[in-house]
Amino acid sequence: MLDLQKQLQQKSSKQVFISKSEILRDYSLAVQSREVSLIGRREVLSGKAKFGIFGDGKEIAQIAMAKAFRKGDFRAGYYRDQTFMFAIGAATIQQFFAQLYAHADVSADPNSAGRQMTSHFATRSLNPDGSWKDLTEMLNSSPDLSPTGSQMPRLVGLGYASRLYRELEELHQFTQFSRNGDEVAFGTIGNASCAEGVFWEAVNAIGLLKVPVVLSIWDDEYGISVPNEYQITKGNISDLLKGFRREPDCDQGFDIYEVKGWDYSALVETYTKAAEVARQHHIPSIIHVSEMTQPLGHSTSGSHERYKSLERLAWEEDFDCIRKMREWVIEQRIATPGELDQIERNAKKLVENTRTKAWKAFTLPIYKERQEVAALVEEMEAVSVHRAKLAAIRKRLTEKQTPSRREIMAAIRAALLALRDEDIPAKQKLIAWKKEQRQINDERYGSHLYSRSAESALKIAEVKPRFSAGSPTLRGFEILNAAFDTMLARDPRVIIFGEDVGKLGGVNQSLAGLQAKHGELRVSDTGIREATIIGQAIGMALRGLRPIAEIQYLDYLLYALQIISDDLATIHWRTGGGQKAPVIVRTRGHRLEGIWHAGSPMAAVIHLLRGMHILVPRDMTQAAGFYNTLLKGDEPGLVVEVLNGYRLREKLPDNIGDFTVPLGVPEILREGSDVTIVTYGALCHVALEAARLLGEVGIDVEVIDVQSLMPFDVHGKILESLKKTSRILFLDEDVPGGGTAYMMQEVIEKQGGFYWLDSEPRTLSAKPHRPSYGTDGNYFSKPNVEDVFETVYELMNEADPGNYPVFYR
């Protein structure tokens, strides 16, 4: 420990040398970035772009941070970081304007293909075919999101990955992702966002995991209009963070620095020092950058004069970081005022020229599309009896100075409406154009919700489980244990963690003994911190690892749902296929007891997690098969294991580590010809028992286990069943109108099941209240065998009351 202290002291006494030309380059960049903000704001206020949020007032600190950033490092920041992104060369000014205009083309806006609002950055970790690039040769940024503080959970994992890559020898081979775990994760956050719970959860996790993170707090004393005194106890975040401070002779905790946002040389020195310590010793630091300003106000949505005092506004002018740097440069005789004026003039010119280029590139294809449509409408005008109407539509479309695709499409639709009673050849051309462009636009705005790579989970070939005479019969948890053991042995990138996962081996023992066998870093305990358990997994997956993050019970997934929904599920789509995070979230739910151990909020999951696969295996063999499939794929997935399945006995497949269960393929558990029951998870057994009883009264029920809610029945197997039975019941343990309504829409609307129905489609779910405690509470809260029996019986009674008279009410 003393050695470490000595080394650290030597580091901190090191002077950082910056040449004059570098200082002037930095000044020029800061001025350019400010100009980007000013012109960007103008573009929004003049109606060329919809919304603007910029990094004005934060320029100098970000330039300093960029100096410490190395290849392989990662950023997890937020919408203020444009100067940093320019400084490391991971974003250009032209790309910035392209995103401001929402230029939906990945070559113009590589951050988000025009899908994210301005200043939401991301670098491209993937090749166009979805395979990984060499991340150690890149300066990386994970993709930004707008919910304040949401960059924090993944910062934990981005840093933790370095620790794993350094400390696990078996990972040293993955040189495309790490060189000895030397990579630092740089986080940035606004002062007000430090009031978010995830901030504290992440800081605590980073501190105790001892990961190389340099976290900057950009403190301009406000969160939109609300000052620090309403955000932070004592009004000062550094004061509050003192408890996390590392003691001099200790390697636990953070190094905490406070530095002014306008003090160029102190900032450079602080970042250099903090990053070196993090890189070499995996000691994290927090850099509280105070006295920052926001000269253009929070965003284009309002002006700060409404809530800042005149004194504050005057102070912000005096302490503007660029002004301060200018004064310092002159004072140090690095340049004369005249030379700096010239730099400022050049910067203005450069930014304005670049903006013009970005605008032209954005509008050109849209002008071209408008021209094509105008020409087609004109062609129709020549022969149509509705000439006047068409001419008016064309005029409206062409006289707009800045056309949008929305207006082009609306004009086409208006023209087709005008021509509804007239058939002319040019109309067909217009319809064909509309159809083609619809497809292009669906792709332009919606591609990459799921992977398109060779590893897409939907492309993973099915390998059936193999059984032999010697296959033992084990309890469910032992089946899973054998499966996880093989996964860990087969692939060193597989890392499993969660609450009670390590030493105890999981609350259901499915990981028992695996920490002892594979080591503490491969199977590890975490604190009770669901959001950052997921964030840890996201950051690790963004850096090439294959995390399996456990959330102890499905009901507690809600703590992490925001981050899974906002971040994980959208990563691939919101970067236009630029990044992927194949996280496996493992949890368990449904049948246990009481409100918070027996819930089944499946609709919440289904509707919030588009972009992930949602799997609900009915037993542990199916679960193992799903894990194998997901691990061969490159997409995130959620697996909900059935709580009461751990003690049930199943046959262990001989190929436990290799067999796969295909996604989106339901399984017919029982064939029948009268009614189809569509269900999943724990209710499979309930449905089968009800089907047995119904068989006794002459009703032949087909039971289908959906098992993969997303993707849902990709081959239309359920429709085939419905064609046979023409009656259908959707059954689950979610609230009424939850998972059952989702399944009904899939089959009745999407698959066209409506046309094959002889009875109205039915749903049977749990009650709208949460499951009540105890055996009886459960019986009257959730669908049971008798409920299923009666619901199906009613369907048959309606169809044939003579043969199926009601006997129970």
Ligand X SMILES: Cc1ncc(C[n+]2csc(CCOP(=O)(O)OP(=O)(O)O)c2C)c(N)n1
Name the segment binding ligand X (CB under 6 A); options: 217-225, 687-695, 699-707, 774-782.
Answer: 217-225
Q: Tokens in use for 800?
A: 């044939």
Specify the residue, 81 or 269, whose C-beta has the smaller distance to ligand X.
81
Name the segment binding ligand X (CB under 6 A); options: 146-154, 282-290, 457-465, 466-474.
Answer: 146-154
Name the segment binding ligand X (CB under 6 A); options: 91-99, 141-149, 502-510, 599-607.
Answer: 141-149
Q: Is 223 in the site for ligand X (CB under 6 A)?
A: yes
Task: Spell out the residues 6+ positions from residue 443 whose beta carbon is closer than 8 angstroms to its own.
Answer: none
From 95, 119, 191, 600, residue interacting with ligand X (rule: CB under 6 A): 191
The one catalytic residue in 103, 282, 298, 597 is 597
Is residue 597 part of the annotated active site? The answer reads yes
Q: Is 67 in the site for ligand X (CB under 6 A)?
A: no
Q: Is 146 in the site for ligand X (CB under 6 A)?
A: yes
Q: Would strands 494-498 and 546-550 be described as parallel, antiparallel, or unpaired?
A: parallel
Q: Is 218 in the site for ligand X (CB under 6 A)?
A: yes
Specify the residue, 127 or 146, whose C-beta has the smaller distance to ligand X.
146
Q: Is 55 in the site for ligand X (CB under 6 A)?
A: no
Name the segment binding ligand X (CB under 6 A); options: 206-214, 220-228, 234-242, 272-280.
Answer: 220-228
Distance from C-alpha of 692 to C-alpha of 670, rounded to nearest angstrom? 10
| Residue list 289-308, contact with ligand X (CB under 6 A) | 298
**CA angle, residues 29, 85, 128, in degrees to nearest 5:** 135
Q: How far is the CB of 217 from ligand X (least distance, A)?
A: 9
From 32, 62, 148, 285, residue interacting with ligand X (rule: CB under 6 A): 148
Find out whether 413 and 433 touch, Cβ atoms under 8 Å: no
From 38, 132, 138, 147, residue interacting with ligand X (rule: CB under 6 A): 147
Counts of helices then strands in the chain (DSSP H, E): 27, 22
Specify the residue, 191 or 721, whose C-beta has the smaller distance to ligand X.
191
Q: How far is the CB of 151 from ligand X (least distance, A)?
A: 11
Give helix 264-281 / helix 321-331 axis angle, nearest 10°: 100
Q: Is 80 in the site for ligand X (CB under 6 A)?
A: yes
Q: How many residues of this chain interact with ligand X, rule: CB under 6 A?
A: 14
Q: Is 273 in the site for ligand X (CB under 6 A)?
A: no
Name the segment binding ligand X (CB under 6 A); options: 218-226, 256-264, 603-611, 677-685.
Answer: 218-226
Name the segment binding ligand X (CB under 6 A); options: 186-194, 417-425, 712-720, 723-731.
Answer: 186-194
- Measuring CA to CA, which residue among 325, 270, 335, 341 is closest to residue 293? 325
Query: Quick one: how far is CA 40 from the chain centroid?
Result: 27
Q: Is 190 in the site for ligand X (CB under 6 A)?
A: yes
Specify the residue, 195 or 605, whose C-beta has the smaller distance to ligand X.
195
Q: Is 161 in the site for ligand X (CB under 6 A)?
A: no
Report CA Rg, the chain.
Answer: 30
Q: How far is the CB of 239 from ligand X (least distance, A)?
A: 17
Task: Spell out the residues 6+ positions from residue 250 whose beta carbon is closer than 8 angstroms to its own.
Answer: 1
Distance from C-alpha of 247 to C-alpha of 523, rounded to nearest angstrom? 29
Specify the residue, 313 or 364, whose C-beta has the smaller distance to ligand X.
313
Helices (H), 647-750: 683-696, 717-725, 739-744
Q: Is 119 in the site for ligand X (CB under 6 A)?
A: no
Specify the residue, 216 or 453, whose C-beta has the smaller distance to ligand X.
216
Specify the residue, 299 or 536, whose C-beta has the smaller distance to ligand X.
299
Specify the residue, 182 or 221, whose C-beta has the smaller distance to ligand X.
221
Q: Is 227 in the site for ligand X (CB under 6 A)?
A: no
Q: Would strands 613-615 and 708-710 be described as parallel, antiparallel, or unpaired?
A: antiparallel
Q: Would strands 255-260 and 285-290 be described as parallel, antiparallel, or unpaired?
A: parallel
Name the segment binding ligand X (CB under 6 A); options: 62-70, 184-192, 417-425, 483-491.
Answer: 184-192
**Alpha-carbon distance values, 137 to 130, 134, 166, 175, 230 (Å):** 17, 6, 17, 10, 43
Q: Is 510 in the site for ligand X (CB under 6 A)?
A: no
Distance from C-alpha of 154 to C-alpha of 136, rounded to nearest angstrom? 19
From 36, 91, 102, 192, residue interacting with ligand X (rule: CB under 6 A): 192
Q: How far is the CB of 271 from ligand X (least distance, A)?
A: 19
User: From the CB of residue 134, how many other CB atoms can be counted at a distance below 10 Å?
Assistant: 12
What size, in residues, is the chain? 809
First to last CA, the chain: 78
Residue 788: φ, ψ to 5°: -65, -45
Q: Is 224 in the site for ligand X (CB under 6 A)?
A: yes
**CA angle, residues 737, 742, 746, in degrees to nearest 5:** 145
Produce one character per residue of 90-125: b if its CB has 16 or more CB atoms within 10 Å, e if not. Answer: bbebbbbbbbbbbbbebebbbbbbbbbbbbbbbbbb
Specify the residue, 77 or 738, whose C-beta has the smaller distance to ligand X.
77
Residue nearest to ligand X (CB): 190
Q: Hey, which residues are catalytic here? A: 597
Question: Could you list the residues that contact ligand X (CB under 6 A)?
Answer: 80, 146-148, 190-193, 218, 220, 222-224, 298
